[in-house]
């Protein structure tokens, strides 16, 4: 079993080769934003998970490289379009594509990335392609469904915690789960084992997004990498907000509602006031509790995997890192 660093390095070498091909493709106006997006960096978590899923069941991990590239290109496509829809100005410390180029280019180059992702996946072992394409297509569509729910929630005041969990399952968790299962399928994992790995990814993905919500309120801005309170200022439907709306009563519930509807305010004042209301509702404890639940469920899935215990170490560490991460 290769180390995560070895898998990371293997993926980066392959990505660099594909990047050169994209650089040389025409028209430049279509492909330059694609290269720009892929050059922004990031943790490269999802493609490494594809390779990890394959390596758990096979030593021939090179067969999983096309799927790893496909997942990374698709993930970056979703970020490109997310930034456009959110009118975000910065991604990973650089101007977003629609600002560096223009919105129409961002749409078209993003579309090209989605098509490229399918082309890369098509280079996977031919006998596995029907199952891989079905899984990839379903995952991609579910990510879009999650994004639509997230957009719908912006104008709804009756979103429930259960609806929110389903939204982040679709928007965030299925891509992590799908990456692991793609690799497992390529590595010839038995169906039941591949499904266990998928379920591990779902639980880790849910815990990851819930931790992200928590860090936006309670994280250290010097470590988190951005100002805290952004979700509060935008009234984003997060677990913390929905749980506070559920738990607060009387005057405090009215105060929270007033802050949500108020159009003119000092940002620091709103963040401080809403955070205090969150504290009054003890939603930080609630968030920690549900994160621990998903962490435990993930570890149960790992325990059932029929591979050497030492080969599970990296995924166990990933689960633990999700719970302890501060950025």
pLDDT tens for residues 236-248? 999 999 999 999 9
Residue 83: the pLDDT is 92
Reported CATH class of domain 190-327: mainly alpha
Residue 87: the pLDDT is 87
Residue 224: the pLDDT is 61
The answer, yes or no, to whether residue 172 has pLDDT greater than 60, is: yes
In whole angstroms, what is the distance from residue 139 CA to residue 134 CA? 9
Domain ranges in the chain with CATH number 1.10.600.10? 1-187, 190-327
Q: Within 10 A of 192 (CB to CB), how many other CB atoms are there?
A: 10
Count of H-run helices and E-run strands, the chain: 17, 2
Residue 227: the pLDDT is 74
Specify the fold of 1-187.
Farnesyl Diphosphate Synthase (1.10.600)
**Cis peptide leading into residue 23 (ω within 30°):** no
* pLDDT confidence bin for 186, thresholds 50/70/90: very high
CA distances from 287 to 87, 117, 177, 255, 290 (A): 29, 35, 22, 21, 5
Are 194 and 186 in contact by the 8 Å Cβ rule? The answer is no
Which residues are registered as beta bridge partners of 90?
Answer: 95
Residue position matching structure tokens 């493709």: 25
Residue 41: the pLDDT is 84
Q: What's the rounded mean pLDDT across residues 137-153? A: 97
Residue 250: the pLDDT is 97
* pLDDT confidence bin for 48, thresholds 50/70/90: very high
Residue 255: the pLDDT is 97
* pLDDT confidence bin for 226, thresholds 50/70/90: low
Q: What are phi and psi of 90, to 5 degrees?
A: -135, 140
pTM: 0.94
In whole angstroms, what is the distance from residue 35 CA to residue 264 CA? 40
Looking at every residue in the chain, the average pLDDT score rounds to: 95
| DSSP assigned state of 95 | E
Least confident of 81-90, 112-121, 140-149, 176-185: 81-90
Percent of the chain at pLDDT > 70 equals 98
Residue 91: the pLDDT is 87
Residue 225: the pLDDT is 58
The answer, yes or no, to whether residue 93 has pLDDT greater than 90, is: no
């Amino acid at each position: 079993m290769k180390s995560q660093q070895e898998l990371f390095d293997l993926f980066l070498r392959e990505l660099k080769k594909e990047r050169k091909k994209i650089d040389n493709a025409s028209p430049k106006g279509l492909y330059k934003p694609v290269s720009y997006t892929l050059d922004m960096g990031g943790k490269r978590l999802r493609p490494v998970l594809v390779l990890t899923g394959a390596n758990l069941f096979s030593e021939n991990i090179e067969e999983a490289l096309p799927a790893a590239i496909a997942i990374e290109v698709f993930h970056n496509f979703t970020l490109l379009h997310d930034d456009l829809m959110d009118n975000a100005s910065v991604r990973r410390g650089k101007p977003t594509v629609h600002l560096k180029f223009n919105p129409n280019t961002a749409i078209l180059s993003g579309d090209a990335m989605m098509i490229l992702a399918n082309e890369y996946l098509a280079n996977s072992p031919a006998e596995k392609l029907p199952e891989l394409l079905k899984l990839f297509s379903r995952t991609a569509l579910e990510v879009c469904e999650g994004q639509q729910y997230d957009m719908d929630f912006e104008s709804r005041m009756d979103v429930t915690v259960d609806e929110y969990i389903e939204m982040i399952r679709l928007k965030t968790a299925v891509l992590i789960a799908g990456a692991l299962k793609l690799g497992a399928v390529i590595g010839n994992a038995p169906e039941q084992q591949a499904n266990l790995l998928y379920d591990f990814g779902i639980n880790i993905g849910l815990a990851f997004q819930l931790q992200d919500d928590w860090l936006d309120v309670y994280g250290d801005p010097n470590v988190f990498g951005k100002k805290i309170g952004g979700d509060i200022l935008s009234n984003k439907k997060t677990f913390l907000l929905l749980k506070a709306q559920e738990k607060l009563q009387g005057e405090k519930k009215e105060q929270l509602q007033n802050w949500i509807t108020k159009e003119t305010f000092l940002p620091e004042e709103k963040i401080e006031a809403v955070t205090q209301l969150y504290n009054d509702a003890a939603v930080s404890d609630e968030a920690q509790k549900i994160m621990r639940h998903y962490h435990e469920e993930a570890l149960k899935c790992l325990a059932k995997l029929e591979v050497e215990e030492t080969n599970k170490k990296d995924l166990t560490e990933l689960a633990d890192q999700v719970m302890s991460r501060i950025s």
